[in-house]
Chains A and B, each alone.
Chain A
Amino acid sequence: MKPARFEYHAPESVDQALGLLNDLREDDVKILAGGQSLMPLLNMRLARPRHLVDINGLRELAYVKADTAGGLAIGAMTRHRALERSPDVARAAPLLAEAVPLIGDRQIRFRGTIGGSLAHADPVAEIPTVAAALDAELVLASAHRRRTVQAVDFPLGVLTTVLEPNEMVIEIRIPPPSPGTGFAFLELTRQHGAFAIVSAAVALTLERRTIAASRICLGGIAPTPLRASRAETLLVGAQPSASLFAEAGRLAAADSDPEGDVHGSAAYRREMAEVFTRRALHLARDRAQGGGVR
């Protein structure tokens, strides 16, 4: 198992990388970030790009910055390990902090990057689901322009995104958590570190015992992370209760579109989407009541 031949490029700045991507835009190019998903594909020759653009030299894209509003700007080449250890992430994005230790394994988290995980767009990965749940924005850059897209709109399907051939993800922006919000990320896996069969990312904002805002995003049960909008709408304005959360779980499962595989049938995944939505809502509610943001 060895990669097929490719032409190797190692730009040393974002400008250089974008110039290169622009020059090669008609060609067959893969961007190599942390490599924890792409390298296996290269080794198995499931991917055989003509050009490999290695962006590990772009140190300028490895950062976590707290913005003035209390949100975060995270550079695309920030490694999972850095997110795991960042006090800013723990404070401003507890949902991300809860999900990151579940990514891959220890060695993988030393190499894998947030931008790489997003751009790879695997619906069973943690980061795309969390980013969509948090209403995160992605900053995409080409040699000619920068644009922002909502994380939920970024993936188009399994391993497919809105990125143009000359573009790359350079930053992820996460809005500040509202006061009174509880977060929860839960996933069903066959063993620790495996890809999720189903994952549920939930943010629940309580104001005087009433649900003021809710966000529910499910992973693994559709080609892209799925915002369960009917369940979200059901919750807003209501008082939290077991029956309400059960109904929200049923609505979320009804909106899911899972495919069966060796790890679980479509029906099983839909059932688990309901169970994990419900459990995540209970946990987020408990955390919101326990003093909000966490």
Chain B
Amino acid sequence: MTQLVTSVPRVPVQLRVNGLLYERIVEPRKLLSDFIRQDIGLTGTHVGCEHGVCGACTVVVNGEPIKSCLMLAVQARGAEILTVEGLARGGKLHPVQEAFHEHHGLQCGFCTPGMLLAAVTLLEENPDPTDEEIKLGMDGNLCRCTGYYNIVDAIRAAAKALRSTTSPPAR
């Protein structure tokens, strides 16, 4: 039915990740998740299911949390991307990272980068969520270790910490 496509032109992809500008030449079929890991070398973004179910590969593209395995790198040309490596500043953990640490919001840590970015964006749009809102807001991220309770605890604590800081933390 389909003829094999043997070669296609590679395309330049220029984008910012955690404030730094990167340009790489890639095939159009390159997933954003693979671009971030393989072409830029930032392996904090984890790849779990690779079909948009687990949320481990969640990154923030132009302020919006998305699953980077469901986006092509070429679609992110010109974008501002935040990955887990961009959360800590000057050796100091982001308040959401700090809260996951304090409340044991991770065990194996595989889902954690996606969890953190989903949580950070959730608290940006809803600084004082109920537990129910936290659970709904985190419905795109799976964790097979914690049973989620400690993750909800961590996000509730992070929300409180973020509200009590007078100036919003840089992210």
Contact = CB atoms under 8 A, between A and B. Distances in A.
A11 interface: no
A113 interface: no
A263 interface: no
B31 A193 contact: no
A3 B29 CA distance: 6
B8 A2 contact: no
Interface string B58-92: 10000011110111101100000000000000000
A107 B61 CA distance: 11
Given A6-B5, A106-B65, A56 B51 contact: no
B130 to A, nearest CB: 15
A2 B29 contact: yes
Contacts of A2: 29, 31, 34
Contacts of A49: 2
Contacts of B140: 104-108, 193
A36 interface: yes
B109 interface: no
A156 interface: no
B127 interface: no
A158 to B, nearest CB: 18
Interface residues of A, number: 34
A264 to B, nearest CB: 20
Interface residues of B, number: 36
A188 interface: no
Interface stretch (A37-45, A88-96, A147-155, A273-281): A37-45
A6 to B, nearest CB: 6
A2 B31 CA distance: 8
A35 B71 contact: yes
A162 interface: no
Given A35-B70, A192-B136, A1 B50 contact: yes
B139 A106 contact: yes
A5 B139 contact: no
B105 interface: no
B36 interface: no
Interface of A: 1-8, 10, 28, 35-36, 39-40, 42-44, 48-50, 52, 54, 56, 81, 101, 104-108, 110-111, 192-193
28 contacts: A1-B51, A3-B29, A4-B5, A5-B7, A5-B27, A8-B29, A28-B1, A35-B71, A35-B72, A39-B71, A39-B72, A43-B69, A44-B51, A48-B2, A49-B2, A50-B2, A104-B140, A106-B118, A106-B136, A107-B55, A107-B65, A107-B67, A108-B67, A110-B65, A110-B66, A111-B67, A111-B70, A193-B139
